[in-house]
Amino acid sequence: MKNRLEHPIFKILSETADDNGMEIYVIGGYVRDLLLHRTSKDIDIVVKGSGIKMAELTAKRLGGLNVNVFPKFGTAMLRYKGVEVEFVGARKESYRADSRKPIVEEGSLEDDQKRRDFTINALAISLNKATYGKLIDPFNGEKHLEERLIITPLEPGITFSDDPLRMMRAIRFASQLNFHIDPLTFQAIADNKERIKIVSIERIMDEFNKIMLSPEPSRGISLMDDSGLLKIVFPELTDLKGVETVDKIRHKDNFLHTLTVLDTVALYSGDLWLRWAALLHDIGKPATKRYIQGQGWTFYGHNHVGERLTAKIFKRLKLPQNEKMRYVQKLVSLHMRPIVLSEEEVTDSAVRRLLFDAGDDIDDLMTLAEADITSKNEEKVRRFLKNFKIVRRKLKEVEEKDSVRNFQPPIRGEEIISTFNLPPGPIVGEIKNAIKEAILDGIIENSYETARTYMFEITKQMGINRMDNNN
């Protein structure tokens, strides 16, 4: 292990601890990631005694580095050459039933290791010179890393009831690292699921977003579902579950469909918010589901309901209320447009409208819409994918010709007001809109001169002069 502790901070920590007669270890996620050959910038240090004192001694040795001290938690942190080092004294912890805040007492290294969440996160490496690089692994963490196993060092009910966020962490690690959760550990998540309610939604979402960013997010979401956590944290998703049959016609299970779409999008994009759009694209379906004789199952307007629900969900889950949310809303609202387009004959004007509405998000929208084709009917999928190719080609052609992606109508409202001496009001919007529509329909080209000529034509037809006189 010695030669893998490459960062210069380790040698400094080792010397500082030895000079001051302190026991020192690197512990937790850094050791796990080292054994998994993943790089990590967060180093957790445990000492026998005071973590704050050790941090201060290290900072002094480094020429007076700045230390952030958190006396309430007995921890301290410093930054050095691209890493963040957090110091804490080895401790025993016990928790009260109604809170995540522990009662802390000084303890041995093993006390400290056993109060950690999983055996793979309880590994420590000694940094003192005599034992430098020695792995201290009382709970078989190294073996569990090889077996790709998430298991708690203590009886899992204790570990989870101590800190219920760990239930989300277990699932997040399983999804992120493609590990499996030990059956008893998993059962304890199911048994303790209600305790997730004492954890702040921000922390839960932090883990959820790590699940969303994992290679196959459906793994984590399915585990949340199987344990019962999903219904508590995100009931809108579990509402998508189930299949109904009327007159022998069944609709697809929208939960499973959503997970497939999400995993497919994840193959093509690491963008968190595009993945969120995949997760929420059909969220409006349960509320709009109707069986109509002769038509079968319908979900009219589910994209618009989905757009509204997205805002509600983002608010409740304390996700950003900014352009990220608006981006997800936009994709949810437009997600069927490319497919509808590919079903019809693809006209230039329909493509131009799609480009106008999607703007710079057109490529993401196409990724989502293409992933949305999950029919079991292979012939149907082939046909759609072929038509999608045509839509993509047309998008390119129209974009090159008309550049409508970031289109702004060339005539502004003020110009209409001053040219016709009109009061501001709906009529101005009507004229502006008519010009925009004409450009999008390909009746006139996207230039100022043509748009101005067109403005005079339509205002004449609208009798604007006469209205002018009346005013």
Interface segment toward ligand CTP; rule CB under 6 A; list 50-58, 70-78, 164-172, 439-447:
164-172
Q: How far is the CB of 386 from ligand CTP (least distance, A)?
A: 42
**Which residues have CB under 8 Å from 342's CB, separation 6+?**
384, 387, 388, 390, 391
Q: How far is the CB of 63 from ligand CTP (least distance, A)?
A: 27
Sites for ligand CTP among residues 169-208 (CB under 6 A): 169
**Residue facing ligand CTP at closest CB distance:** 29
Q: CB nearer to ligand CTP: give 28 or 306.
A: 28
Sites for ligand CTP among residues 13-42 (CB under 6 A): 28-29, 42
Q: How far is the CB of 206 from ligand CTP (least distance, A)?
A: 9
Phi, psi of 372 (to 5 degrees): -70, -10
Q: CB nearer to ligand CTP: give 121 or 258.
A: 121
Sites for ligand CTP among residues 44-63 (CB under 6 A): 44
Torsion of CA 410, 437, 431, 447, to 10 degrees: 20
Q: Determine the 3-state secondary structure of 136 from DSSP.
A: strand
Q: How far is the CB of 115 from ligand CTP (least distance, A)?
A: 7
Q: CB nearer to ligand CTP: give 47 or 368.
A: 47
Q: Which of 166, 193, 281, 353 binds ligand CTP (CB under 6 A)?
A: 166
Q: How far is the CB of 196 from ligand CTP (least distance, A)?
A: 12
Label residue 271 exposed, middle or buried (CB < 10 Å: 0-12, 13-18, 19+).
Answer: middle
Name the β-bridge partners of 103.
94
Alpha helices in 62-155 (DSSP H): 109-114, 141-146
Question: What's the token pair of residue 392?
Answer: 């993509």
- Residue 163 within binding range of ligand CTP, rule CB under 6 A: yes
Residue 319 has, within 13 A of its CA and on its CB side, a CA count of 24
Interface segment toward ligand CTP; rule CB under 6 A; list 18-26, 161-169, 395-403, 434-442:
161-169
Sites for ligand CTP among residues 84-143 (CB under 6 A): 116-117, 121
**Alpha-carbon distance values, 386 to 262, 372, 389, 392 (Å):** 22, 14, 5, 10
**What DSSP line would sit under 317-330, residue for residue?**
TT---SHHHHHHHH
Which residues here bind ligand CTP, judged by CB under 6 A? 28-29, 42, 44, 116-117, 121, 163, 165-166, 169
